[in-house]
Amino acid sequence: MRGSENSKKTRKRIAVTVLAVVLLVVLSGLGVGISAAVAAFAPVKIVIDEDRTYQTMEGFGFSGAWTFQELGASMETADKAAQLLVGEDGLNMDVIRYNIGAGSIEVAGHDGDPTERRTESFFISEKFKGDNAAFADPDNYDFETRDANAMRMLKACIEKGNIKTLVLFANSPHYLLTSNGMCKGGYLPKENYSAFADQLLVTAGHFYEEYGKNIKIYLSPVNEPQWDWDLSSIQEGCHYEPEALAEFCTVFLDKLDKYNSAHGTEILPELFDSGTYDVWSNKNFKNYIDALNSCGVLDRIDHVALHSYHAGNSALKRKRFINYAKKHLTGKAVHMSEFCVMEEGIDPSIDMGLKSLDVMLKDLTVLGANQWCWWLGASNVQYEDGLIYYNSRELKEKGGCDFSMTKRYACFAQVTRYVQNGDVRIEAHTSPSTGGGVLADMRILKRGRKRRDYHPQPKGQGQKG
């Protein structure tokens, strides 16, 4: 439905305003000075074609892995963090990725791993007597006291009322199901495929019962299967060869269909959280797609979940993927489910903010992603992996903490606050051309709402950098 002529004009005016901001941001992010950006932008005509549409957005989000376990220890701290990440005066994000722990906190072989990267599993290991059927019994799980802080932090986010999607993801099967009894350095034996699927489904069933009436629930059973995740890794992870991944996914999807049918649930699959989509990489993405296709897995899913780490700011790698996808992933949407800038330290500058935003914009326009997620919602280390930052010592000693944000937070807010679930990307280009690359092919997202003014410093929170 088009609506009135006035509403059409309003949409166009809003579209031009959003595009103007985005173009200026990207010009700056590509190394063009602000004055040069203004000079380059001023004489350019923006041509918008609302009849040519692209993907429908399913939201922006982040992972609660690792630091949710600390932040949820204090309700006041959890509420502060939730407001900054998902509140309307914060980033207004509407997707959360929740890590289903594999139980590494119980395994001595993980003693050298950072404490926050060792997880509790909801499955009670003492209930396991050697029979894999134990993983299918909900009575063998503890959802009341296990991972309680992370659950409290998740609840604080959901209670803000903006979350539309919850993705439950597993980095590794439960340690009792792996080949070496650990959450890294081993693999998932065939005889344990069914039990791991049961573990995931019982867990997802609990979250569906809690939140599924109002929130879409996805279940992601594997994470970056191309990587070795050997014993030198400092987090949970599990490697799958392409054929093994395809065979497990077949078992998982069969079990998921039966579970949904038996319980009246609508838990959706998310596959396969690929660690790379670079079709020329040594960790060959194509081999995994071929294996999934040979087992009919691709026919049973409507999107492919990917990570953008090894694409970075490269438009070329994205275009290569799109050319490949046109032949081998026809009709499949793309969820960009994980990215951060893999650099040591915390750069609070606008340059880092624009560098990060450039990745998002390229994923939306060149890759055509309809869901986009940053890695950590909150970080407690000196690394470019957080949307907000805090000090663990302060949290432990005072029972609460303040948060600081870099310019990445402000840059992301210019998109995440105003582009919402259900918005449709439409055609827009510059005339005359601004000189190629992402600028000459920039598009925007159609919206029918009035923009809210953006205040980069939320009430009651100091902003550093």
Domain spans of the chain, in order of start = 1-54+425-449, 55-424
Choices 3.30.1370.100, 3.30.1300.10, 3.40.109.10, 3.20.20.80: CATH for 55-424: 3.20.20.80
- B/e letters for 276-307, b = 16+ CB within 10 Å, e = fewer, are bbbbeeebebeebbebbeebebbebbebbbbb
Q: How far apart are CA 445 and CA 429, in angstroms?
A: 13
Residues 123-157 pLDDT 10s: 999 999 999 999 999 999 999 999 999 999 999 99
Closest CA to 378 of 365, 364, 395, 363: 395
Q: In this structure, what token pair is assigned to residue 8? A: 């059409």
Residues 199-223 pLDDT 10s: 999 999 999 999 998 999 999 999 9
pLDDT per residue rounded down to tens, the chain (465 residues): 334 445 444 444 444 444 444 444 443 333 334 444 444 445 667 778 888 899 999 999 999 999 999 999 999 999 999 999 999 999 999 999 999 999 999 999 999 999 999 999 999 999 999 999 999 999 999 999 999 999 999 999 999 999 999 999 999 999 999 999 999 999 999 999 999 999 999 999 999 999 998 999 999 999 999 999 999 999 999 999 999 999 999 999 999 999 999 999 999 999 999 999 999 887 899 999 999 999 999 999 999 999 999 999 999 999 999 999 999 999 999 999 999 999 999 999 999 999 999 999 999 999 999 999 999 999 999 999 999 999 999 999 999 999 999 999 999 999 999 998 899 998 877 665 544 333 333 345 554 443 333 333 333 333 333
Give φ, ψ of 7 to 5 degrees.
-65, -35
